Amino acid sequence: MTPLLQLDSVNKAFGGLKVTQHLSFSVFPGEIAAIIGPNGAGKTTLFNQITGHLLPDSGRILFKGEDLVGLTTQAIVKKGLGRAFQVASIFPEETVLDNIRLAALANLDHTRRFWRPSAEHRQATEAAVAILASLGLEEQGGRLAFELSHGDQKLLDIGIALALQPTLLLLDEPTAGMSPEERQRTRRLIGEIRREYDLTLVFIEHDMDMVFDIAHTVRVLQQGALLAEGTPAEIQSNEEVVKAYLGEEL
């Protein structure tokens, strides 16, 4: 099977600090891939390189067989790569519905249209309403985004990414800062939306219960390098990983 995302010896350094070191791995269509590692391991920096926010010093990042290195974020997003952020990246003064509708309008390439009110753009509105329903946010559609709870803002961030109809969705700590109930709900929703939207997921997470519950594969980063990769069971029994990162969590 051809990998959907393939990293080929990616390197990145900030001065003398190596944040990504000879990183190579592949993610296949339909996979739920987790990236774990201690703070400062270079997980978010890796996402930033995949999405064109940072340029790797060397190496290739192939998406659907095409090298993303050197492309702008906009171009990468248009190729079908969506991202939700560690700190929810939303439009706080817009309604929840408008947040997702804007993404749907962007996906339809309708954001240059300047005459009809955005609410009257039926296709985008229907897509936004469907996503709200998938995320269980349909009751919140009319509220302003900043009024939402932290957990719902994180879901809204995912909803914005979903409206772009990505093939691959990158989730940066989707349950960070959530209550146990919110984590449980988010964990369930992530599984559901993957099936519903036929997505490949790569997510960064510190919640090991979630990682080992939903991930098909796990990559462990340490100081920008790949410490280990494998199935959740393999990672859980990897002594080096247990020693370096998991520790007492197991």
CA dihedral 134, 135, 138, 140 (to 10 degrees): -170
Q: Reduced to 3 states, what is the DSSP secondary structure of residue 219? A: strand
Residue 66 CB, nearest approach to other proteins (Å): 16
- Taking alpha carbons only, the member of 152, 123, 147 closest to residue 137 is 152
98 HSE (CA, 13 A, CB side): 13
CB-nearer residue toward other proteins: 139 or 248: 139
Q: How far apart are CA 118 and CA 65, in angstroms?
A: 36
- Taking alpha carbons only, the member of 237, 168, 231, 149 closest to residue 29 is 168
Token digits for 178?
Answer: 């959530």
Residue 55 CB, nearest approach to other proteins (Å): 15
E strand or H helix at 11: strand 5-14
Residue 242 CB, nearest approach to other proteins (Å): 35
CB-nearer residue toward other proteins: 160 or 215: 160
CB-nearer residue toward other proteins: 31 or 98: 98
Residue 81 CB, nearest approach to other proteins (Å): 9
CB-nearer residue toward other proteins: 102 or 226: 102
What's the maximum distance between 2 C-alpha atoms anywhere in the chain? 62
CB-nearer residue toward other proteins: 97 or 241: 97
Burial of 112: CB neighbours in 10 Å, binned 0-12, 13-18, 19+: exposed
Residue 88 CB, nearest approach to other proteins (Å): 10
CB-nearer residue toward other proteins: 15 or 117: 117
As beta bridge partners, residue 141 has: none
Q: How far apart are CA 223 and CA 226, in angstroms?
A: 8
User: Using CB under 8 A as the criterion, which residues of the chain lie in contact with other proteins when the complex forms?
Assistant: 51, 72-75, 77-78, 82-83, 89-95, 97-98, 101-103, 105-107, 110-119, 121, 124, 142, 144, 146-147, 160-161, 164
Residue 245 CB, nearest approach to other proteins (Å): 29
